[in-house]
Every structure is written in C-alpha cells, then in structure tokens.
Structure 1
Amino acid sequence: MMNLGPNFAQSRFNLHSQMINNNLRKLKIYPQQRAALVALRKWFNAPDKDKTALVVLPTGAGKSGVAALAPFVLNATRVLVITPSEIITKQLIADFNGSLSPEKQSFYEAREMLSLDEISFFIEPGLAQLKSLTNTALVPLFRSRNLIIANAHKFGSHSNVNIEQIPNDLFDTVIVDEAHHYPAETWKRIIDHFQAASRRIFLTATPYRKSGPIFDDVATINEQRQKYVAYEVSRQECVLGGLIRGLEFLERGLLNEANEETRVIEIAQAIQQKLAEHDQIDSTIRHQAMVLTHTITEATMVKDIYNNLFPPINGQKKPAVTYVGQDNGSNLIEFKKGNRCVMVVCGKALEGFDCNRVSVCAILRNVQPASKVLFPQFVGRCVRKASDNDPVTATVISHAFHRQRANFDNLDKLADAGVDPEDD
C-alpha cells in the first residue's frame, strides 16, 4: 500500500486492486482493453517513464472501460476524471457507478465481473460535478469523495473556481478523457495544476491537435509516440479483431449541385435506404443516423426537411431532432431511447456520444482536410457495435458537393503537421 498523505484515505480502488490484477486475464473485456491496462501498469512501474501516459484507442474500442478499470489496476486512491462535456461526464459516472445511476449498468456489471449483490461493495461512489461552485463549496466536496468526474469548463476562466486554491496534491491519479483537448487553455491550466499527481492518463482516439502532437514538449507525432504513448491500436486492427464495425463510404449527387435543399434531400434518401438495409441485416434493433452540419441554422433547416420526408416513428413522433449543445437535452434523451431515427448536429456538439444504434453518419458540410480531429471524431459515432456479433457495416454518407471522399480515404493516416481550424 502506498504511503498516504493527509489528503488520502483508503479507497475501494485500493481495497480491490489486488483482486482485479489477479483476475485481469479472466475478465470479460476486449483484448485491447486488457493490453492497455497491462501497458499502463508496466508504464507506471517503470522508473524511467514519464508520469504521463497516453493511450490511443479508436472510438468504440473501449476507452471508457480502460478509464473504469485503470484506478483498480494502478491501486489508485483519489481519482479525478476530466471530460469535455456534461454528456461524457454523465456517461462516465454511469460506467463507474452504474446502478447508482438511472441511465445504465456500470461497466463492471455490463462485463459480468460481479453480481448485483456484490457490486455495491465494489464500486467507488463517484461525484459527477455538473454544477459550477465556488472554491468554498468545491474543495470540501472534492475532499469528501475518492472519485470526481468533472467537465473541464467547470474549472474554466468563466467559472467561479480559482483552481490555484485547490490543493495540487488532492488527487494521486488524473484521467483525461478526449485528451486531444489538452493544449486548449482551460484544459492545460487544470491538468498542469495537478502535476503533483503520481499518474496522469490521457485517453483519446485522435492523438493530435492543431500543428501536431498533443504535448508541447515534442515536435512530431512520432516523438510523442516515443515519449508518451503507453499503448496504441489502430482502427483497422479493431475492425479485424471484431471490436468495432467496419466502415464504408457512400457519395451521392453531383459535384456542382448548387441547390442546398436538393443536396439535403438526396442525402436524406440515401440515409433512409441505408437504415432500411441495416434493419434488414440486423432486425434486433432500430438503426439510427447522425447528420453533421456547419451551423445551428443549417441543423434546424435539415431537421425540418427530414421531418417532412421521413415517416413518423410509431405513427406519432417526428423522426428527426437537432442537438446543438444549447438545449436542455430532451432531444438527446429521445434519440438515445430510440424514439427518433435522425439526430442533426453541428460542430462537435456530440463528441464522445455513445449510442450503438447509430450505424450511419452523414456529412452535409465541407470538413476541411486539415481538420484531423473533427472528421474521425464524428465518423466514430457509428462504429460502436450493438452486440458482439453485430453484422452491420457502418456507413458514412456525404454529398459530392462537399468533397469528403479524401477525408475518408485518409481516415487512418496521422499527419505530423497541419492546422486544425475546427478544433477550437
């Protein structure tokens, strides 16, 4: 057991660490998850490694499971998980705490690691910090829990928190989800503040931002790989291993089609056709689509056109909704429940969104080739398998006018340079 200072008392991560490590080979988790956890344990036990480790896993390959098990594998005591959005914060608190959350089982229950009777004695009760608080309220609250999951912007320059007043040794382990955000000012300020943490784990599917690597003390992706990457697996390896769906690209329309409504309708027809095909291939679920636009105005326009084209759900409900990160989440809830078949988004409103019924991603905008994060992050929404034997190949649909084939062809290529204009 580590020598605990005044900020630390034994956690359930400590209590069950040996049991998890002893049974790691037997757990019903993806091989890549197991390999990543073993790599992290080896990394932080090595005296010559940096105390920051980067794990690169494609969307759908189990980053959340790695986050949920890493504190046990590493014998952590007090854990801070930083996320980019309330959506991901809620998803992660469900992965960690499950039955304490109304949304879904915990990761541990879903992977049949423990019985329902055992789970309440195993999980470390976490706090999902969704409200902005002052330091006076926040520090005692943080001290009261061994697991805090928080949206980065709750510590941002527009919040009521002065991060300098939070003890920088309050956590021994910091997990950074969607870590490609790290160079952004708010993220860097938070994570660098907790430098005293003995372990910092960065998780992402896209280990680059703006002109190259995430970390500013290396010049290229290859240098970043050598210094920081504890574990990395490619999208193609995960497809071949049966962990995520394969991808196909479908282009519709004419390159010079100037009429926006015509483009929207042509893509809508292609979505309808593909969803019907996917439902035929796997009739156990109703498949869904997500559509990427550029602005809120465009998203609303696309939604209205789709609601006139698509048949109602269950004879009543309109089939399409928007989610632009500014509503109360009711549209998102309806979509996740399967009560809508199309979700129209703009920008990165649903980065990290987890819904395995989504099998089609359609793009109704020109995502620039230099946007090395936006394209793969959005396309990743449709590759998560609905079951271990999911037979569906996910489909990316775009109009020829938006010239997205090159982005798809380059999906698995990591560039060492270039500016990502969409990542701010």
Structure 2
Amino acid sequence: MSIFQTITPFIEGNKSLLQPQLEAYRAAKSFYQEFTQPDYKETLIIMPTGSGKTGLMSILPFKLSSGRVLIITPGKIIRKTVFKELDSISNPEETFWYKHNIVLDKKSLPKSYLYKGWNSKDKSDKARTIQKLQASDIVITNVHKITGSSEEQALINLIERNFFDMIIIDEAHHVAADMWQKTLEYFNVKKVIKLTATPVRADNLDVSNNPYDPIYRYSLGQSIKDGLVKDIIKKEEIPERLEFEDPQTGRVYTPAEARMLLGDDWVNESLIMSETCSKTIIRHTLKVLKEKRKSYPKHQVLAVACHQKHAQLLTKWFQEEGAKATYVSSYLSDRENEERINDFANNLYDVMINIQMLGEGFDNPNISVISMFRPFKSISLYAQVIGRGIRLIRDSEATLSDNYCDVIYHKELNLEELWRMYKEEKTYADIKRKNSKQLTLFDYFELGAVEMNPNFNNNLNKKEDVEDMRGRVMHIGDIKTYKSKGLGNEDSFSSDGLNKYRKSATEIAAATELAEYEKLNAERVKYKKLVEEGHLDLETYELIINQKEEKAQNEISVHFNELKDLITAEQLRWDFNTWLNDKATEFFSKSTLNEEGYELWEESGLYGGKKVNNLGYIVRNIRQSLFDKSKKRITSFNAIDFAKAKEVVNAKISFYLKEYPPTKN
C-alpha cells in the first residue's frame, strides 16, 4: 500500500501550517470523496505567491494518493525550490514534512527524486535512473523533461503510463503548452491537481474545464489581510513639467500631444530610455531604500527593465547614483546569472535589474522596493513584477513596518488603471470577510516579466533606435524639458488578522495530535541536553529518538482512525459552505444584482416574513432546493449528497446569471 495511505499526517491543528494550506488540503480531500468519476479527476486550486503552495504540494498526497506522485514545475528555478523542501534522502530534517511536524518519524518520510534526465552515452545511467524512479514515492521535474525531444530528457520513454497515481502541477497557467497537454494525455492517473495564482492560461483560455473549479480559492487580498505577504504601497513620480522632442523633426510636444500624434509606444520608449527621467526614479528609489534600511539593513530593490540594453543602462545609472547594482538576462550564461542571483540573495547588491530571469519560483523576501522602468499593457505582467516583492520577511530583526513593499514608477507610464485592477483584490477580500468571510475573485497572472530581443550594441552612451513593446523598430525621442514634483498618488492595501475556527471533532483529533507532538518535542529536548552534558552518546540519542518518533506517529494514526468518520463529515460540510459562499459572491461579481439589494425578495412577493437581501435569498433558495431533493438536512449529508448539492448550486447560479446577466460595456 502507498505510504500516503499508511502514514497519518499531522495536519489538522498543526499550528505551523498556514491557513490556506490547511483549507486547500481540506477542499481537495472533500472534492475527491464527493466526485470519484474520471471526468472530474482534474481540479484547480488558486493561491497567490507567498501563501504556501510548496508546502501544500507536500501534504496533498496524504490520504489522496494511492501510489506514486509526479510534481511538475514549469522551469528549473521552481523545480529546485520544490525539491529542496522534499529532499528526504539527503536532508530529511530540512524537509517541509519534518520541519513542520507533518510526519514525526523521519523513517516514515516519503522518498523524493529530482528527475533531470539521464546520460544516453552511459548505458548503466539509464538503468540507475529507472531504479531511482521505481524506488521513489514522489518525482519532481519540470515539464521539459517529461516529453522532451531528446532521448535522455523524455521521462515518458522510461516509465509506463500507469507509473503515477497522482499529478500535481505548479503554476498551472502554463498548461496551454503542448508539452503539458502531452503529459496529461500520456499518464493514466486518478487525480490531477493544478495550482496557480490565476485561472487563465497564457492563451487566455481557462486552466480547467471542471465545472466545480476552483475547488479552493485564496486571493492576494486575503493573503495581505491575513499577514501572509507584505502590504503594498504604490508611489508615482509626478513631473511638474515634461516636454518631448522628436529628433527627426525637432518638434517639441507635451505628453498629451506626443501620445496623440506619435503614439503611446513612442512616448513610453522615449521616457524609459531617458537618463533624466530614469535617474529621477532611481533617486526616489534609493531614498526610499535608505529610509527602510534604518530599521532593517537587508532591504533590497528589484528594478524592471524592457530589454538587454535597457538593463545595462539602468545598471550603469544606478551605479552612478551610488548603488551596488547588477542585472540578469537570458543573454548571459546560466553560470553568470546564477552567480549574480546568489550574490543578490546574499545581500552583496542593493539593486537587481530584472528582464525575465527572476520570475516564478524566485524567492527573496528582502526585496521590498519594486522600481518599474517599463510600461505594461495587461494586469498579468504588472502583477508578476509586484509579486517578486511581497514575500514576507520572517527575520527576527524585522519589524511590522518592514513588511511593506514600495512600488515606484513614473506617472506618465499610465499604470493607474492596472493599479486599480490590482487593488480590486482588497475590495473582493473585504466582501469575502463580510459574506461569511469566504470569497474573492481576481485573475492573477504569471509572475515573470517578458524579455524582448531588440538589436543593440554595447555602446551604452549612443542614442539609437530600439524595438518597441511589440517588437517593431522605432526611433525614440529626447526629453526636452523635465522638472519633478516628487513622489505622489500614494495608495495601499491594508491588513487583517487570521480567521478563527470553532470547536469540532476535527479540533479534538488535532488537539490529540498536537499533544503527541509536544510530548515528542519535550523528549527531544530532554535527551539532547543529556548529549550536550556528555551523559549520552549521539548514536544512542538517535536510536532513542527514532523509537520515540515511531511511537508518536503510531499514536497519531490510532487517534485519527477513531474519529475518522466524524472528521470526514465535518470537513465535507466545511468545504461545501466555503465553496457555496465563493460561488455566490462570484455570481454577484458578474451579475447586475448587488448582494445587499432586495430585488429577489421583492419580486418573489413573499412579504410576510423578514426582509432578505439578494445574497440571503439565493443561499436560502439553494438550501431549500437541496432539502427538497434529498429530504435530508445538510448535517446528514454524505459525500454523494454533497456532490449532488454542488450540481444543484451550479444549476441555480447559471439560472440566476441568465436572469440577471452582466451589463455590457
């Protein structure tokens, strides 16, 4: 039997887990208990950067997978990050499972293997690779290694279609690529769980066709309000006077005239390639950095460039203003990029200029200032850039005031609309708190900027034509006159506390498991002290602790099995209520109806009772329909009942959306 079925993880009541990790795990368990049909094997979980997706991936297989698990990442950086948390062979004490007390017994940890391919010139290497795959419980790789063109890359050439029981896909919005589709078509698995910060793929199609998706959604707004990521402060450089000059005609334009006559791209390129304008932003950036470092000296800046030449110029201009700066780019070698990234992570640089290298999977909490030196045409890239700076600083030296990310850019880049869209996360999070604290709908996109490939040379001081954002070669203008008014138009998100949970059978089991962990931890401390005092040798210590860990793990399994049915029923109800509230508020975000209005109650003609708003009316209508169909109260529902209930909810929501459709712009 699979290790994921025989080992009972310490998840419920585990205080080292984040709220969205626990809730997403509950939602996945509930869904696959309710829907066992192959048509619903693919599910979607939406969680933002910094909310614990890697930890979630490590716990999802428990009680869900009956065999091996394949974790697929879109690239090398994420693959490396994920494996670091799951490397139970080389570093069992550093795995997420052991550090967060998910599995108390080191000997019971799942075995993980990082698949990088094999050497086709070495016949024995292929056999060794297959042997490692067969011995593993989890295989982590990036999508290019699964269906790659070369023999040593293609994982599908080494294993059977039914080799894995479950697939977990990180950053699932990449699923539009042919390689992702080939992977899903090749493997005959029972469950596919996709994790992403956005339900929209790179080709603007849905990540999933499952009508019940997302089975769990945790928004950036909630993450900020719950204190899991940094709050965000937006600041714009506001020019007091700005004039452009066309070098071909010598004509001078105001920004409005230039946009109307020469186009947005001409204005944007002229602005970002201007040393005068860029250095104004740079001085603001370094002033903010200096202030932030008064309380925490490790704060750093991530600056965003358009292309290689732009990155080189920004590096030069930052250095001229006294900052230690470098850049990364796909034009550099892997080794050079890695060295610069590592040096930046070790605080050897104040500023890193990024084109596309520091995207998904890059984790540096010390980035607390984002300087944007490029325009964005969609919320996708705008959001991905800010995402690099929102990871929480958990250093003991940091204070609450250090967990804010300052986002700085020029007003004339016209990013206010994107900020408004970005900030709507806060609005949805507030609505979710109000409506039973369960809601939010916002499409978060890929975290990783797109690097263009312009023609350029290394003469950084020479004025020359460049490619615009769409790859067209264009001449750019000069800044004729520039005077700054300073930073303004500031705006921000706000933070809230964590949700509280009611007492339940789940909490009773969790309390028991917590007691077992605390008892084990006390034993570890006691025997460790004996080692330090010289009364116990290290080998004997390891033997004793291994026995204690095994006993504690067995006790958790026993207590879990005693309350298994009660826990399952309670989690199914919790999942349904969470999912229902999310679906209801999603409806109101699309419909002409407002959840606080009374149109539905008034149109029904039911004036005898207490006045009910639209949200209450729909939820009441749904619950009544569920009772009429099942003749059961929700407290008596089993997994099949909840599956049918979700079908009813989808039908009701579709009906109301047809009756009260979105307004057409």
Q: 1:59, 1:377 within 8 Å by CA — same for their partners in 2?
A: no
Partner of 2:217: 232
Q: Is 1:398 equivalent to 2:409 in the alignment?
A: yes
Of residues 287, 291, 302, the one that matches 1:290 is 302
Q: Could you tell me how far 1:122 is from its partner in structure 2?
A: 4.1
Taking the TM superposition and a 5 Å limit, the aligned residue runs for 1:163-182 are 165=157, 166-182=159-175
Name the CA distance, whole Å, in 2 between partners of 1:298 and 1:105. 40
Please name the residue that 1:154 is paired with.
Answer: 145
Separation (CA, whole Å) in 2 of partners of 1:119 and 1:303: 49
Does the C-alpha gap of structure 1 residues 306 and 175 become closer, same or farther in structure 2, counting only changes over 3 Å? same
Aligned residue identity for 1:396 = V
2:231 to 243, 246, 250: 246
Question: How far off is 1:382 after superposition?
Answer: 0.9
The corresponding residue for 2:33 is 45
Paired position in structure 1 for 2:350: 341
Equivalent pair of 1:81/1:176 in contact (CA under 8 Å): yes
| CA displacement 1:98-136 (0-9 Å, x = unmatched) | 79359x94323543556xxx6642432322223565595
- The alignment status of 1:278 with 2:292, answered yes or no, reads yes
2-side partners of 1:122 and 1:262: how far apart?
A: 61
1:267 corresponds to which letter in structure 2? Answer: I
Deviations 1:178-222 (A, max 9, x none): 11101112222223322x211111111122124534337x4xxxx
The aligned counterpart of 1:4 is none
- Cα distance change on mapping 1:400 and 1:169 into 2, 3 Å: same
Partner SS for 1:362: strand
The aligned residue for residue 489 of structure 2 is none
Partner of 2:67, secondary structure, is coil
Counterpart of 1:36? 24
Structure 2 counterpart SS, 1:238: helix
Is contact 1:80-1:171 (8 Å) kept?
yes
The structure that has the greater radius of gyration is 2
1:55 aligns with 2:60: no
Report the TM-score, using the length of structure 2 for normalisation: 0.53
User: Deviation of residue 57 (structure 1)?
Assistant: 0.8
- Check 1:157–1:109 CA distance in 2 against 1; reply closer, same or farther (3 A cut): closer
CA RMSD of aligned residues (A): 3.2
Do the aligned residues in 2 keep the contact of 1:93 with 1:101 (CA within 8 Å)?
no
Residues 292 and 133 of structure 1: is their aligned pair in 2 closer, same or farther, counting only changes over 3 Å? farther
Q: 1:229 to 1:402 in 2, by over 3 A?
A: same
1:324 to 324, 329, 336: 329
Separation of aligned partners in 2, 1:74 and 1:423? 40
- Is 1:205 the counterpart of 2:197? The answer is yes
Aligned mates of 2:451, 2:328 — CA distance in 1: 19
Cα separation, partners in 2 of 1:124 and 1:303, compared to 1, 3 Å: farther
Q: CA deviation at 1:301?
A: 2.3
Which of 93, 98, 113 aligns to 1:127? It is: 113
2:81–2:361 CA contact under 8 A, matched in 1: no
Change (3 A) 1:190 1:367: same
SS in 2 for 1:100: coil
Q: Is the 8 A contact 1:253 1:266 kept in 2?
A: no
Q: Distance in 2 between matches of 1:97 and 1:294?
A: 37
Find the aligned partners of 2:283 and 2:88 in 1 and give their Cα distance. 38
| 2-structure distance, mates of 1:73, 1:273 | 52
1:77 aligns with 2:63: no
AA partner of residue 33 (structure 2): N
Contact 1:54-1:231 within 8 A present in 2 as well = yes
Residue correspondences, number: 387
Equivalent-residue separation in structure 1 for 2:357 and 2:394 (angstroms): 26
Q: Secondary structure at the match of 1:212?
A: coil
Q: Quick check: 1:108 aligned with 2:97?
A: yes
Q: CA-to-partner distance for each residue in 1:275-312, whole Å, 9 max, x for gaps? A: 223223x42x511121121212222221222223234x
Does structure 2 conserve the Cα–Cα contact (< 8 Å) formed by 1:354 and 1:381? yes
- Map residues 314-393 of structure 1 onto 2, 5 A cutoff: 319-325=324-330, 326-328=333-335, 329-347=338-356, 349-369=358-378, 372-387=379-394, 390-391=400-401, 392-393=403-404
1:264 counterpart (278, 292, 295) = 278
C-alpha distance in 2 between matches for 1:73 and 1:307: 54
1:299–1:345 CA contact under 8 A, matched in 2: yes
Q: How many Å apart are 1:58 and its aligned residue? A: 1.2
User: Structure 1-normalised TM-score?
Assistant: 0.81
Q: Is the 8 A contact 2:303 2:370 kept in 1?
A: yes
Q: Distance in 2 between matches of 1:119 and 1:268?
A: 51
- CA deviation string 1:357-406 (max 9, x = no partner): 1112222111112xx43222221111111129643221222222332222
Unaligned runs of 5+ in 1: 2-9, 219-223, 312-318
